[in-house]
């Protein structure tokens, strides 16, 4: 009984000492850690670390107390069962065991404190490194900002100084920068021309006397050996009528026949008081020829209505295209030229319906070809190539109404495209000095072209003005959206514009006519006035079966 009471007292004493040690250890550790962390860290970090380390210390102290309690219980039971000792000895033994366990716990607590201290040191070092890095970043950003500011200020200063220098230079020289540059380029060009002229002057003086004599002889021989006809073109064609009654049939009910013919052929049909005659007016000779032939066929056939007119005009258009091809083949045959590309033959044929200053270009090209060949034979140059270059020298005029640029350059591009010799291409491009002449044949073409155009009555200056004006009128009109075809008639006094009925309505047609008229006023110079007619037509066709 006494032993049981002693064991109980011993157990109670051990529990009290363990609880006291646990509370004292946890409380002292928490206070010390909290005071040290509070002194060195910020409020937010301090609170976080105190809470974290307090929880860890409590957990570790509680676990240690439980272990001590379990070990003490086991040891007490073992001592009671194994030996018979007095209560005094048991108490002393329990006290010794408790003191030993307390020392062990204090050693463990010391280790925990050391770990906390190391962790705090690491955190402090890391915080210092972060602070240093942040400070370095701020310093770098400040340096970059200062550098950018210095660069901007330096750039502005350089720009200001450059402007001041330019102003001073312009003030001193009396020229702007662009004017000085242009003056320098002009002086360099003039200097180069002077040097070139000095080098060739000696050669020219030596050859001038002999060249003049020989050139006069060659030209006189060539002109005497060739005497071709020339045709001065005009802008109207007259169609004879069997009787004046035919005029009413050509006009049709409310003018529908004549409107259909004008729309299909692109010319102006003039029916006036001239007896038994109708005048076809239009600058484009191809359209005028198509209209003239179509009228002859309609008068001979007797059936004159819009549908028949369109059929006849379409068929005549094919016939004229065939005649163009035949004209090109005839020109090549007369000059004895072989191997011309079919497209070049077609272009030569189109020159039959092209005039320059009133002179027919097809006849002019054949004449230049003959003159080139005759002069080439006198000089001992390749006669066939000279004739070829002479025939093709104005071939670009067949496309001047379709392409922008000099007819010499257009013709040279055609020759290159269809495989002509470089000498021929250069002669075509250089006959108006658009590029340097690289052969004797190129100079022969220039001379022959001048001879053919200088013949009395061969050319009329006013017709070329009409050509240019009509081409410009049609070019301006075709530049608007929705325009399908344009026809310049009445020698350039009227432009008729055919539009797509689906893309332009009636109100848009009025606006289009006004816009075209304003653009013509801005870009062209002409006497009198030009009438702009916009035609919008909708057709509904069906068949009764």
Quick one: how far is CA 44 from the chain centroid? 63
Which pLDDT score, from 0 to 100, does residue 471 have?
84
Q: Is 541 helix (H, G, I), strand (E, B) or coil?
A: coil
Residues forming beta bridges with residue 279, ordered by sequence position = 238, 270
Q: Which of the 8 DSSP states describes residue 433?
A: T
Which pLDDT score, from 0 to 100, does residue 216 have?
59
What DSSP line would sit under 272-339, residue for residue? -S-TTEEEEE-S-HHHHHHHHHHHHHHHHH---SHHHHHHHHHHHHHHHHHHHHHHHHHHHHHHT---
For the segment 426-440, the average pLDDT, to the nearest whole number, is 87
Residue 498 has pLDDT above 70, yes or no: yes
Which pLDDT score, from 0 to 100, does residue 232 have?
37
Both tokens of residue 540?
A: 């509904």
Q: Which of the 8 DSSP states describes residue 235?
A: S
Using a pLDDT cut of 90, give the percent of the chain over it. Answer: 3
Task: Please tell me which of 17-21, 221-225, 432-436 the model is most confident about, judged by mean pLDDT.
Answer: 432-436
Tokens 């970090």 appear where?
45
Which pLDDT score, from 0 to 100, does residue 229 have?
44
Both tokens of residue 172?
A: 């001193």
Which pLDDT score, from 0 to 100, does residue 426 have?
92
Count of CA atoms in the C-beta half-sphere (13 A) of 174: 0
User: Angle at the Cα of 359 (from 358 to 360), degrees rounded to 5?
Assistant: 120
Both tokens of residue 121?
A: 């040191």
Both tokens of residue 455?
A: 């013949």
Confidence of residue 497 (pLDDT cuts 50, 70, 90): very high
Between CA 232 and CA 429 the distance in angstroms is: 26
Quick one: how far is CA 542 from the chain centroid? 46
* 512, 480 Cβ separation under 8 angstroms: yes
Contacts of 328 (CB under 8 A, 6+ apart): 340, 344, 345, 346, 347, 348, 349, 350
Q: Which of the 8 DSSP states describes residue 240?
A: E
* 249, 304 Cβ separation under 8 angstroms: yes
- What strands lie across the sheet with 494-499, from one edge to the other? 483-489, 494-499, 531-535
* 464, 356 Cβ separation under 8 angstroms: yes
Output b/e per residue, 273-285; b: 16+ Cβ within 10 A.
Answer: eeeeebebbbbbb
Residues 167-220: pLDDT tens digits? 776 666 665 667 767 777 777 777 776 677 666 666 656 666 666 666 656 655
Residues 343-361: pLDDT tens digits? 888 888 888 877 776 677 8
Both tokens of residue 276?
A: 């038994």
Both tokens of residue 48?
A: 């976080």
Q: Are strands 483-489 and 494-499 parallel, antiparallel or unpaired?
A: antiparallel
* 381, 218 Cβ separation under 8 angstroms: no
Between CA 331 and CA 152 the distance in angstroms is: 74
Quick one: how far is CA 9 from the chain centroid? 105
Direct distance between the N- and C-terminal alpha carbons of the chain, in angstroms, rounded to an integer: 140
Residue 233 has pLDDT above 50, yes or no: no
Quick one: how far is CA 344 from the chain centroid? 33
Nearest residue to 288 (alpha-carbon basis) of 470, 80, 481: 470
Find the helix or strand (DSSP H, E) in which 497 lies.
Answer: strand 494-499
Tokens 């970043």 appear where?
137
Which pLDDT score, from 0 to 100, does residue 79 have?
66
Which pLDDT score, from 0 to 100, does residue 461 have?
44
Which pLDDT score, from 0 to 100, does residue 388 have?
92
Which pLDDT score, from 0 to 100, does residue 228 have?
47
Q: Which of the 8 DSSP states describes residue 487?
A: E
Find the helix or strand (DSSP H, E) in which 365 lies.
Answer: helix 361-379
Residue 502 has pLDDT above 60, yes or no: yes
Residues 118-169: pLDDT tens digits? 888 888 888 888 888 888 888 888 888 888 888 788 888 888 877 777 677 6
Which pLDDT score, from 0 to 100, does residue 527 have?
57
Nearest residue to 398 (alpha-carbon basis) of 441, 449, 343, 436: 343
- CB neighbourhood size of 220 (10 A): 10
Find the helix or strand (DSSP H, E) in which 355 lies.
Answer: strand 355-356
Residue 463 has pLDDT above 70, yes or no: no
**Lowest-confidence range among 88-102, 378-392, 494-508?**
88-102
Between CA 1 and CA 7 the distance in angstroms is: 10
Contacts of 197 (CB under 8 A, 6+ apart): none
Nearest residue to 330 (alpha-carbon basis) of 382, 368, 365: 365
- CB neighbourhood size of 255 (10 A): 11
Phi, psi of 250 (to 5 degrees): -70, -40
Between CA 399 and CA 362 the distance in angstroms is: 14
* 244, 276 Cβ separation under 8 angstroms: yes
Residue 17 has pLDDT above 70, yes or no: no
């Amino acid at each position: 009984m006494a032993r049981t009471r002693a064991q109980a007292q011993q157990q109670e004493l051990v529990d009290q000492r363990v609880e006291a040690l646990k509370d004292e250890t946890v409380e002292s550790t928490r206070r010390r850690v909290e005071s040290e962390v509070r002194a060195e860290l910020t409020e937010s970090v301090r609170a976080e670390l105190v809470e974290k380390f307090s929880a860890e210390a409590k957990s570790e102290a509680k676990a240690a107390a439980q272990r001590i309690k379990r070990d003490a219980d086991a040891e007490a039971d073992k001592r009671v069962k194994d030996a018979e000792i007095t209560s005094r000895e048991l108490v002393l033994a329990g006290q010794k065991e408790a003191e030993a366990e307390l020392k062990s716990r204090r050693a463990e607590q010391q280790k925990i404190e050391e770990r906390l201290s190391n962790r705090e040191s690491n955190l402090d070092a890391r915080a210092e490194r972060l602070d240093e890095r942040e400070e370095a970043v701020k310093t770098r950003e400040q340096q970059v900002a200062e550098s950018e500011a210095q660069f901007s200020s330096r750039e502005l200063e350089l720009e200001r100084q450059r402007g001041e220098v330019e102003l001073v230079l312009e003030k001193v020289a009396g020229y702007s920068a662009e004017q000085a540059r242009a003056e320098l380029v002009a002086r360099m060009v003039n200097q180069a021309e002077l040097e070139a002229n000095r080098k060739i002057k000696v050669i020219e003086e030596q050859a001038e006397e002999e060249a003049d004599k020989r050139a006069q002889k060659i030209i006189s021989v060539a002109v005497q050996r060739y005497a071709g006809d020339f045709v001065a073109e005009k802008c109207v064609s007259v169609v004879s009528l069997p009787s004046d009654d035919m005029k009413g049939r050509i006009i049709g009910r409310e003018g529908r026949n004549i409107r259909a013919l004008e729309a299909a052929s692109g010319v102006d049909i003039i029916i006036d008081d001239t007896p038994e005659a109708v005048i076809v007016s239009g600058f484009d000779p191809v359209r005028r020829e198509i209209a003239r032939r179509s009228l002859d066929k309609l008068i001979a056939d007797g059936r004159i209505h819009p549908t028949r007119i369109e059929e006849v005009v379409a068929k005549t258009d094919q016939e004229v295209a065939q005649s163009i091809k035949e004209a090109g083949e005839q020109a090549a045959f007369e000059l004895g030229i072989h191997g011309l590309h079919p497209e070049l033959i077609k272009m030569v044929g189109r020159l039959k319906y092209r005039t320059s200053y009133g002179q027919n270009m097809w006849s002019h090209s054949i004449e230049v070809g003959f003159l080139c060949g005759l002069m080439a034979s006198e000089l001992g140059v390749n006669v066939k190539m000279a004739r070829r270059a002479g025939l093709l020298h104005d071939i670009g005029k067949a496309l001047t109404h379709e392409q922008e640029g000099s007819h010499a350059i257009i013709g040279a591009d055609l020759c290159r495209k269809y495989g002509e010799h470089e000498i021929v291409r250069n002669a075509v491009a250089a006959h108006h000095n658009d590029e340097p002449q690289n052969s004797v044949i190129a100079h022969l073409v220039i001379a022959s072209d001048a001879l053919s155009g200088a013949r009395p009555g061969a050319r009329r200056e006013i017709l070329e003005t009409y050509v240019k004006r009509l081409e410009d009128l049609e070019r301006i009109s075709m530049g608007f959206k929705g325009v399908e075809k344009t026809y310049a008639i009445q020698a350039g006094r009227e432009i008729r514009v055919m539009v797509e009925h689906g893309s332009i309505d009636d109100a848009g047609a009025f606006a289009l006519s006004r816009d075209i008229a304003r653009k013509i006023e801005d870009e062209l110079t002409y006497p009198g006035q030009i009438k702009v007619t916009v035609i919008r037509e909708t057709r509904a066709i069906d068949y009764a079966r």
